[in-house]
Amino acid sequence: MPQHIIDLTLDDDLQCWGTERSTDSPPDQGAVVVISPIEDLIEDSDVEFMDAIMDDPPRQKSSSSSSDSLNFDVSRMWSPVEDPKGTISSCLSSPILGICADFPVDLTDDGNQSGLDSVCPSVQLAEESSGTLTPWHGQEIHDVPTIFDEDTGSIGQSVELNDGSFLYIEEVMSHGGYTSYMGRYLKRTTMLTDPSGIPQVRGELVWLVHMSEPVPFSEIRQIRPIRFSNTRPRQWQDHGDLICRLKFTIMNRNQIRNPKSNQTVPQCDQEFAVEYLTWEEVTATSHPARKAKELREGWRGRNNTIPFGADERSRRHSPLAIDAENPFPQVIDLEDVRHRTYTFGDSYCGAGGASCGARQAGFALTWAVDKDKHAVETYRTNFPESLVEHSEFNDFMTNNHEDLRVDVCHTSPPCQPFSPAHTISNEVRDEMNSSCIFTSRDLIMSARPRVLTMEETFGLQGRHRGTLHRIIMDFIEVGYSIRWGVLDCVNYGVPQMRRRLIIIAAGPGEKLPKLPTPTHGPWGSFLRPFETINSTINEIPEDALDHDVERLSERSRYAFKSPYDGNQPAHTLTCSGGQANYHPSGKRSFTVREAACLQTFPMDFQLCGRSRRKQVGNAVPPRFAEALFREVRRSLRETDEKELEAEEHVMAVD
């Protein structure tokens, strides 16, 4: 009685292609079948099979075929069995080990494959009359085996390049008889030379936005179906079809040239962004996607996001309307909605530099936390409208879990262990401070902010880059897009050279805000001139708080230093004052009030308790914080205005 056998051939991605036939039929006749990737047919217990491939045993040729192929009985494979995966595994046993070695099998390839859990059954019959292979996992295969034709290659196709990267074609260009292609350049996350915190998962691709060079036809290897999505997976897994959810952008912005002059304005070393794809970017590829509002509600809950801000203290009476399209009807204020205020939470708030800038940018301060009792006293004095707690961060998260929901969160964990100026080591203290930097994920899970900002030392971009990448990965894994770069506060009206790493993260369904544009620059830049020491401290009244010049001069009378020109920005102020930071006269150091003004605290800002100079030096400069949060507020308003206009349009049509 003739047996059913299958002639198999392995391609470079370990995809098995073959023809089912009877033993009494010629090899070129029979039903075309597609077998799952061979790695998926191998259970963990089949160690001998894997070892045989790796050890490269002597070649054996199949006598029934002129090509390298695998022959085995598949009649068992299509019979009803309790364990189809085990049956398939047993079919791929020792009789074919030597034959497998005939093929160039690369076990490190991240080709299109799926785990054993999705293999049932692993053999699918194709339409004999179609002349094409039925794609596994529902992928569209244009030719056999996925050949890219220069004459038929078109926009909307995705292809694999010779170097292992990929291209989603958006433009076809012909010149001088040569054809080249432009589009989305994609790479496997496992092949990134500098992953920048992107989770490295097999089958996951990332769109490298900053790489957009034309690709000639000669560089294209084959068609490779790629799925685009704007949702994060339930968990990052090492199997599945090729899928792209993220885009990575690097902007070289060492200097920004003013179009009206030949001057350049330094802004930051480089700007980086890892973002989840938008609804528009996914649907442009003819793939389904979830709209921004759906993503936001899925993350923060229905009706937990109030457009234009959750704070209603400034609302006035105005006509209302009901959004009937929402299964959970929501009241929309048609006239006065834009007068709402976004809410703000500040972790590791210190004396309140970030909160001061946020209030000046139009945010409603909701809560704050810090473990320094003197800083908390200062914060409570200056921001009575906010709930501030003297507590360890983790205790605050536990005790106030239900009351932390805000539109925007800011965090400035202790940065001393990562600062280039950190020279005196304290193992216990450094370990505690280092652990604080990873609390952003806990903050996100509790507060579910639409946007989170983080301010840290620029040292994280250098020798502590691994720590920065871990922080970025935490944001990405919970579905947040993230942008970061090193900014100099002097470009935003702060009269001191102060370089800080700024991170902005936007939750699901939110537009990722940009880094703020410089407002101050050198002469000829058509920006405001840099603020200087003299222009700042000369405006301080003699009777100002914390400004006892005579007492400080008496204490410093034997500590003369070289005088210098005060018509320039100061060096970076630190909790101890900072190196080379003293009064331009050289006769004394800065008073606490002078230091506070150089940090751009308002003149009426009251410092309380002890360690006032430390409170000032550790703070985020309020003027810089204001520039940052104005950009965040602008981005949120753009999103809310766009959605409100769409809802008003729907109601007008109805």
pLDDT digits (tens, 9 = 90+) for 302-324: 888 888 887 775 444 444 444 44
pLDDT at 475 over 50: yes
Q: Report the percent of the chain where pLDDT is more than 70.
A: 64
pLDDT digits (tens, 9 = 90+) for 566-600: 999 999 998 776 667 899 999 889 999 999 999 99
pLDDT digits (tens, 9 = 90+) for 495-539: 999 999 999 999 999 999 999 999 999 888 889 999 999 999 999
* pLDDT range class, residue 175, cuts 50, 70, 90: confident
pLDDT at 94: 34
- Average pLDDT on 618-622 reads 96
CB 215 within 8 A of CB 180: yes
Beta strands 481-488 and 499-506 are antiparallel
pLDDT at 273 over 80: yes
Q: What is the DSSP letter of 515?
A: P
pLDDT at 1 over 80: no
Q: What is the DSSP letter of 240?
A: B
pLDDT at 654: 58
Query: 158-280 has which fold?
Result: SH3 type barrels. (2.30.30)
CB 493 within 8 A of CB 623: yes
pLDDT at 630 over 70: yes
pLDDT digits (tens, 9 = 90+) for 25-36: 555 454 444 444
pLDDT digits (tens, 9 = 90+) for 116-159: 333 333 333 233 333 333 333 333 433 334 677 776 678 999 99
CATH homologous superfamily of 340-517+620-641: Vaccinia Virus protein VP39 (3.40.50.150)
CB 320 within 8 A of CB 348: no
Beta bridge partners of 504: 453, 483
Strands (DSSP E) contained in 255-411 are 255-257, 264-266, 268-276, 320-323, 330-333, 343-347, 364-370, 387-390, 408-411
What are the catalytic residues? 415
Supply the DSSP string of 58-78, one letter for each residue: PP---TT-SSS-EEEE-TTTT
Beta bridge partners of 205: 188, 244
pLDDT digits (tens, 9 = 90+) for 636-653: 999 999 888 877 766 666
Q: Report the percent of the chain where pLDDT is more than 90.
A: 49
pLDDT at 611: 92
Q: What is the DSSP letter of 501?
A: E
Domain parsing of the chain, residue ranges: 4-131, 158-280, 340-517+620-641
Higher pLDDT among residues 509 and 94, named by residue: 509
pLDDT at 78: 35
